[in-house]
Amino acid sequence: SKSNVSRTVNSHVFEKLIGFMIFTSSITVGVEVQICAANMSDDLPVWLEVMQWFFVVFFFFELMIRMWVEGLGFYCKTDWQWNLFDTLIVLFSLVDKVSTFFTTEGHPVLVISRMIRLVRIVRIIRVVRFLRELKMMIMSIYYTLKSLVWSL
């Protein structure tokens, strides 16, 4: 039932799982960058393509489940910015993976796709969402800098 799913999604165990998946995904992006740089090519081993698809599908379903559980409140509650950020990262990743099926080498869409891949590295920022203390420190620094700028 929806209440069981809601309880699971809002649990600390689920948050830790998502944090672990984000961390693992970020390592995969690092490996991808290393392989592409070493080979001077965008051709990736099959296992890495499978990993990319796994993470895209995993984060897409995580996003859909959260949206289903929270309804319209998903974009209206106090941390709506993180939810919007999550949505954009997942959508960019999905567009990137799907676009590779419909384009050929040298197509302008592939240039955009490569730029979108860079955005995936930003996904590690999502881990901040799960580290309350770090989030509090970052927000404190942000507000301090904001006040400092206004005083100048």
Please give the Cα distance from 53 to 70 (Å, whole number).
Answer: 26
pLDDT at 115: 66
Q: 129 near 135, Cβ under 8 Å?
A: yes
pLDDT for 19 beyond 90:
no
Please state, as a whole number, how many other Cβ atoms lie within 10 Å of the Cβ of residue 15. Answer: 15
pTM value surpassing 0.95: no
CATH of domain 2-151: 1.20.120.350
pLDDT at 126: 64
Place of tokens 């999502």: 126
- Tell me: the pLDDT tens digits for 54-82? 999 999 999 999 999 988 888 898 878 88
Q: Comparing 18 with 115, which gets the higher pLDDT?
A: 18
Q: 121 near 29, Cβ under 8 Å?
A: yes
Domain ranges of the chain: 2-151
N-to-C CA span, the chain? 54
Please give the Cα distance from 152 to 145 (Å, whole number).
Answer: 11
- Tell me: the pLDDT tens digits for 105-124? 656 666 666 666 666 666 66
User: What is the pLDDT averaged over residues 76-104?
Assistant: 81
Q: 58 near 24, Cβ under 8 Å?
A: no
- Tell me: the pLDDT tens digits for 26-42? 888 888 878 877 887 77
Place of tokens 């393509």: 49
Q: How confident is the model at residue 139 (pLDDT cuts 50, 70, 90)?
A: confident
Please give the Cα distance from 12 to 129 (Å, whole number).
Answer: 12
Strands (E), 4-135: none
